[in-house]
Amino acid sequence: MSTNKERIEPSNPQPPHWADHLLDWFVAPHRREDLQGDLQEIFLKRVTQVGLTQARREYGWAVLHYLTPFFYKRQPNEYPTPSTTDMLQNYLKIAFRNLTKNQVYSAINIGGLAVGMAVAMLIGLWVYDEFSFNQYHPSYDRIAQVMQHATSNGKVESQVANPAVMGPELRAKYGSNFKYVVQASWPGSYVLSIGDNHVSKEGIYFEPDGPAMLGLRMRQGTYAGLKDPYSIMLSESVAKSLFGDQNPMGKTLKVSRKYDVKVTGVYEDLPYNTSFRKVTVIMPWALWLIDNPWVKTMKKPWGSNFSQTYAQVADQVAMEDASTRIKNVKLDNLSKEEARYKWVAFLHPMSKWELYGEFKNGMNIGGQIKYVWMFGIIGIFVLMLACINFMNLATARSEKRAKEVGIRKAIGSVRSQLVNQFFAESYLVVFLAFLVAVLLVLLLLPPFNEVADKKIEFLWTKPLFWFICLAFIGVTGLVAGSYPAFYLSSFQPLSVLKGTFRVGKWAAVPRQALVVVQFTVSIILIIGTIIVYQQIQHAKNRPIGYNRNGLVNLGVEKEIKDHFEAFRAELKAAGAIEEMAASSSPLTGVWNTNGGFDWAGKDPDQAVDFPNSNVTYEWGKTVGWKVKEGRDFSREFATDSSAFIINEAMKQFLPFKDPVGKILKWENKPYTIIGVVSDIMAESPFYPVRPSLYHIDSDTPWNMTIRLKAAKSPSQSMALLEQIWRKYVPNVPFQYEFVDQQYGSKFKAEERIGTLSAYFAVLAIFISCLGIFGMASFIAEQRTKEIGIRKVLGASVMNLWQLLTKDFALLVLVACLIASPIAYYYLTDWLKGYDYRVAISWWVFVIAAVGALGITLLTVSYQSIKAALMNPVRSLRSE
C-alpha cells in the first residue's frame, strides 16, 4: 500500500489500519487499487457525514465483506468466462464421443463398474438392514432382555432362560429402574381354532405390558389387550387369514383346543428385520400360568429357568446402571447350596441382540457384527477393483490420447480444464454404470434375499438413500477418475507434438501394481471360499452318534400323549414305522439341563449342570445310538426306572474308570449307570458335545421321534402315519419335520457366509479379468508392429503367446504370494471361533493360485493369440 504522504495533511482522517492490511493480504493484486480507492473515497465522505469513529467502523465492516473466494482469486482471466454451462456441455459431449468411439473399452469399463457398484450397493443395503434391526420398535434403545450368567462345570454360560418369578421380583424390588417388565414364554406354535377349523400359528405369551413395550402399531384395540387372561391379540395377517374381511374384534377363538379367548387387538405385522418377526399372535402370560399349573406350586420357584424376561429401562435411567443394579436379583433368593452356580443377572440391550448376540465366559464377544464388517470390507474392495480397472484402462490408452492432450494444451487449455475434461469422462462412465447397477440390484435383490435370509427392499422412497447414492457416485467418480485425470493432463505438449514423447520405462509400474492388488483381493476371496466350504463339510462329516436317515420328529398333541402306547402299537401293527420313542429334548437340540447331581468323590463346591433327557424305553432303538459299554434301557428290568445312560463325554467327565454299575445321585436319589453310549451331536456341530444323561420317564414326553421302515418309501409311510394320527387327533394340522432337515438347519449361518463369499469371489474374479482383458488388448495393439517384425523374423505363435502372457502370469503369481499369508492369517482367526475346525492345508493355496493363473491365461490368451495370428504384412505395410 503506497500512500502519498505529501498530498495528505496529517489532519487527514485514516481508515483502520488492520482493515487495509487485511485487504492487501486478501484481495487479488489486480483488483486492489481501484477497490481500495473506492473504499477510501466513501470513507472520507462518511467522515464528514457521521464522524470519524462511525466511518472507521463502517470501513472495517465493509472490508469484511470482501472476504470471499471471488476477491481472493489471483488469476485475472483474459477471456470472458462463459456465463452458461457451455463448457460443461462441451466436456460431456466430447466424453460421450470418446465413449461411443471405442465400444469394447466402454463396455468393459461400464460393465465392470456396474458390477462393482451393484455389489457395493447390495452389501450396503444388507449392512443397513443389519444395523436397523429392531429399530421398528420406538423404544428400541431402552428395551433389553434380562439374561443370566451361571458358572457350571467350571465354565461361565450365559442364558436367556429365567424363572417365572424373575419379572415380578424385578418389579417389586427394582421397580424404579424400569418402565416395563414383561415376563414371556418361549415363542412356539400354537393351535388356534374357530369351531372345527384348526390352524397352527407362531405366538408368544406376554405379561400385559408387552405390546406397549414393543410399541406395536395397533390397527384395532389398545395396548391393554392382555389384561384379561382369556384374551388374544392377532397380527393383521393372522386376523385376515382367520376372519377374512369380518371385524375380528371381540370374536372368540380356542387356543391349544382348551381355552376360549376373545380377540382384543389387531396389530400391524412386525417387519422381517425384527427379533419378534415370527410372533403373529400374542396371548396373556396369565393364560400360560393357567395352562401350566405346576408353576404356581413349585417348591423352589427360583430353581429352574423355563421362561424369558424383557424389560424397558425407565427414561432417566442408564441401561448399564440398571444392569449392574439387578445383578443379584436371583442370588438373593437362593439357598447357599444353589448359589454355587454364581448366578448374575444382567441386561442385554435390544440394540445388541442382532449384531452382538454371542457370549463366551460371561463376556459379550460380538457375533454377527464380524460378518457385517467382513462384507462391508468386501464390498469396498470389489468396488475398488472396478475403479482400478477404470484407472488402468484409461492410463493404458494414454498414448492414444497424448496427441489430443498436446494439441489442447498448445491451443491454450489450462491444465485444470483438461482435468475437468477427464473427470467429465469418468463421471459419465460412473453415472451410466450406476444406472446399470441399479438395474442389476433390482434384478439381484430377490435371489440375494433368498441367500441372506432377508427381506430387503430397494429404498426408493428414502431421500437419505438418494443422497448416499449421489455421494456414492461422487466418490466412485473421484476415485476412478483422479489418477487418469492428473496423469494424462501432465503431458508436455512440446514432446508430444514433436513425436519425441515416449511413455517412460516406469509408466506401466503403477498399472502392474494395481493389477496385483486386484488379484490379491480375488485370490484371498477364493481361498476364503474354499476354507469356509471345507469347514462346513468338515462339520457335516462329523460323527453324530445316531442314524439320521428315516427319522421324523412329530409335534406332541394331548391325545397322543394320553394314548402314547396305544398309538405306538397301532403304528407298528400297521407297518408304518420301525420304532417310536418320546423324549424331553429332540435329537437336534437340548431343551432341558439339570443340576443337583452328586457322585462319590465329587468336590461339594463344584457346580454342575448337564443336559438330562427324559426318554421312553425304545429311544435308543429308535435313534440308533451305539452302546459302547453296558446295555441299553429295557422293559425287562424294573430297576431301569432309576437308571442312567450316559454319553462318552460324561464318561470322560466323571472320575470313574468304568462307570457302568456306578451310582449317581440326582436330587439325593440314587441312580445306577447302566450304559455308555456314543456322543449324540444335538447342539452346534462346531462345538464339543456336552456331558449328558438319559433316564426313563414316560410322563413328560414333549417330543416324539419316529423311525420309518427303511423298506417302505417315506411318502407311503407318512401317509399311513397321518391316517392313524387323524384317528387320535382329528382336525389338527399334522405337523412333522424330518430330522435330517432339522440337522441341516444347523449349518444355515455358515452356509450363508459360504454362498455369499463364493458369489463375491466370482464377481471379484470377473471384474479383475475384465480389466486384464482390456489391458491385454491394449498391449497387443501397442505391440502390433513388434509382433509383425518378430513374425517376419520367424517367431512362432507359441513364442509370441509367451511374450504377451508372461507379464500377466508373473503379476498373478506375485498376487498369490501376497494373498496367501493374508488369507491364512484371517482364516485362522475366523476358525478360532469354532472348537471343531478344519486344518488349513497348503494345497488350498495351490488350488487358488492355479485357478487364478488358469483364468488369467485364458483371458489373456484370447487376445495374445489373436495378435499372434495377425498377418505381418498388414501390420507392417503402413510405414
Partner 1 sequence: MKRTFLGEFEEVVLLVLAACGEEAYGVIIWEQLQQQTGRSITISAVHATLYRLEEKGYLSSQLGGATAERGGRRKRFFALTALGSKALLEIQAMRQQLWQAIPDGKLQLIGQ
Among residues 373, 375, 430, the alpha carbon closest in space to that of 759 is found at 375
Task: Specify the residue, 77 or 668, whose C-beta has the smaller distance to partner 1.
Answer: 77
Task: Specify the residue, 32 or 370, whose C-beta has the smaller distance to partner 1.
Answer: 32
Task: Specify the residue, 69 or 154, whose C-beta has the smaller distance to partner 1.
Answer: 69
* Options 2, 49, 75, 715; binder of partner 1; rule CB under 8 A: 2
* Options 4, 53, 75, 100; binder of partner 1; rule CB under 8 A: 4
* Options 83, 103, 416, 668; binder of partner 1; rule CB under 8 A: 83
* Burial tier of 215 (Cβ tally within 10 Å: 0-12, 13-18, 19+): middle
Task: Specify the residue, 71 or 306, whose C-beta has the smaller distance to partner 1.
Answer: 71
Instruction: Write out the DSSP string of 585-654.
Output: S-TT----EE--EE-TT--TT----EEEEEE-TTHHHHHTPPEEEE----TT-GGGGGEEEEEHHHHHHS
CB of 37 to partner 1, least distance (A): 3
Q: Which amino acid makes up residue 77?
A: N
**Binding of partner 1 at residue 33 (CB under 8 A)?**
yes
CB of 25 to partner 1, least distance (A): 16
What b-and-e string marks burial along 75-100, b requiring 16 or more CB atoms within 10 Å of the CB? eeeeeeeeeeeeeeeebbeebeebbe
* Options 22, 35, 473, 789; binder of partner 1; rule CB under 8 A: 35
* Options 18, 37, 558, 700; binder of partner 1; rule CB under 8 A: 37
Degrees to nearest 5, angle at CA 170 with 165 and 175: 145
Task: Specify the residue, 36 or 193, whose C-beta has the smaller distance to partner 1.
Answer: 36
Contact segment (CB under 8 A) with partner 1 among 31-39, 239-247, 624-632, 795-803 equals: 31-39
Residue 174, helix vs strand vs coil:
helix
- How far apart (Å, rounded) are the C-alpha atoms in residues 85 and 92? 11
Query: Which run of H or E residues covers position 261?
Result: strand 259-267
- How far apart (Å, rounded) are the C-alpha atoms in residues 765 and 867? 24
Other CB atoms within a 10 A radius of the CB of residue 294 amount to 7
CB of 50 to partner 1, least distance (A): 14
Contact segment (CB under 8 A) with partner 1 among 75-83, 154-162, 607-615, 689-697 equals: 75-83
CB of 99 to partner 1, least distance (A): 24
Contact segment (CB under 8 A) with partner 1 among 33-41, 408-416, 456-464, 802-810 equals: 33-41
**Binding of partner 1 at residue 36 (CB under 8 A)?**
yes
What pairing do the DSSP bridges indicate for beta strands 663-666 and 669-677? antiparallel
Contact segment (CB under 8 A) with partner 1 among 63-71, 206-214, 284-292, 659-667 equals: 63-71
Q: Hey, CA dihedral for 665, 669, 674, 680, is it positive or negative?
A: negative
Residue 163, helix vs strand vs coil:
coil
Task: Specify the residue, 33 or 453, whose C-beta has the smaller distance to partner 1.
Answer: 33
Contact segment (CB under 8 A) with partner 1 among 40-48, 270-278, 598-606, 759-767 equals: 40-48
**Binding of partner 1 at residue 297 (CB under 8 A)?**
no
Secondary structure tally for the chain: helices H, strands E: 29, 26
* Options 22, 40, 304, 817; binder of partner 1; rule CB under 8 A: 40
- How far apart (Å, rounded) are the C-alpha atoms in residues 218 and 236? 9
**Site residues (CB under 8 A) for partner 1, limited to 162-181:** none
Task: Specify the residue, 56 or 137, whose C-beta has the smaller distance to partner 1.
Answer: 56
**Binding of partner 1 at residue 46 (CB under 8 A)?**
no
CB of 45 to partner 1, least distance (A): 8
**Binding of partner 1 at residue 65 (CB under 8 A)?**
yes
- How far apart (Å, rounded) are the C-alpha atoms in residues 607 and 300? 18
* Options 42, 199, 468, 478; binder of partner 1; rule CB under 8 A: 42
Query: How many residues lie near partner 1 (CB under 8 A)?
Result: 30
Angular region, 676: left φ>0, alpha ψ -120 to 50, beta rest = beta
Contact segment (CB under 8 A) with partner 1 among 70-78, 97-105, 165-173, 440-448 equals: 70-78
Task: Specify the residue, 65 or 657, whose C-beta has the smaller distance to partner 1.
Answer: 65
Instruction: Write out the DSSP string of 497-550.
Output: HHT-----TTTHHHHHHHHHHHHHHHHHHHHHHHHHHHHHHHHHTS--SS--TT
Q: Are 37 and 49 spatial neighbours (Cβ–Cβ below 8 Å)?
A: no
**Binding of partner 1 at residue 601 (CB under 8 A)?**
no
Task: Specify the residue, 71 or 836, whose C-beta has the smaller distance to partner 1.
Answer: 71
Q: Are 450 and 456 spatial neighbours (Cβ–Cβ below 8 Å)?
A: no
DSSP 8-class letter at 274? S
Other CB atoms within a 10 A radius of the CB of residue 565 amount to 9
CB of 17 to partner 1, least distance (A): 13
For 296-381, list the strands marked E by DSSP: 308-313, 344-349, 359-360, 363-364
Task: Specify the residue, 7 or 669, whose C-beta has the smaller distance to partner 1.
Answer: 7
SS (H, E, C) 793-830: CCCCHHHHHHHHHHHHHHHHHHHHHHHHHHHHHHHHHH
**Binding of partner 1 at residue 53 (CB under 8 A)?**
no
Contact segment (CB under 8 A) with partner 1 among 74-82, 548-556, 855-863, 866-874 equals: 74-82
CB of 24 to partner 1, least distance (A): 12
658 backbone dihedrals φ, ψ, rounded to 5°: -115, 105
**Binding of partner 1 at residue 657 (CB under 8 A)?**
no
CB of 41 to partner 1, least distance (A): 5
DSSP 8-class letter at 162? B
* Options 70, 72, 373, 687; binder of partner 1; rule CB under 8 A: 70
**Binding of partner 1 at residue 24 (CB under 8 A)?**
no
CB of 18 to partner 1, least distance (A): 17
* Options 16, 52, 60, 62; binder of partner 1; rule CB under 8 A: 62
Contact segment (CB under 8 A) with partner 1 among 35-43, 187-195, 470-478, 503-511 equals: 35-43
Radius of gyration of the chain (CA): 38
**Site residues (CB under 8 A) for partner 1, limited to 130-159:** none
**Binding of partner 1 at residue 39 (CB under 8 A)?**
yes
* Burial tier of 651 (Cβ tally within 10 Å: 0-12, 13-18, 19+): buried
Question: Who contacts 165 (Cβ-Cβ below 8 Å, separation ≥6)?
Answer: 301, 302, 333
**Binding of partner 1 at residue 77 (CB under 8 A)?**
yes
**Site residues (CB under 8 A) for partner 1, limited to 231-260:** none
* Options 34, 196, 245, 565; binder of partner 1; rule CB under 8 A: 34
- How far apart (Å, rounded) are the C-alpha atoms in residues 672 and 246? 61
**Binding of partner 1 at residue 71 (CB under 8 A)?**
yes
Task: Specify the residue, 26 or 465, whose C-beta has the smaller distance to partner 1.
Answer: 26
**Binding of partner 1 at residue 786 (CB under 8 A)?**
no
Q: How far is CA 496 from CA 488, 520, 686, in A?
A: 12, 35, 64
Contact segment (CB under 8 A) with partner 1 among 65-73, 338-346, 421-429, 611-619 equals: 65-73
Contact segment (CB under 8 A) with partner 1 among 58-66, 349-357, 676-684, 760-768 equals: 58-66
**Binding of partner 1 at residue 518 (CB under 8 A)?**
no
User: Would you give the end-to-end CA distance of the chain in angstroms?
Assistant: 64
Q: Residue numbers of the site for partner 1 (CB under 8 A)?
A: 2-4, 7-8, 31, 33-42, 44, 62, 65-66, 68, 70-71, 77, 80-84, 86
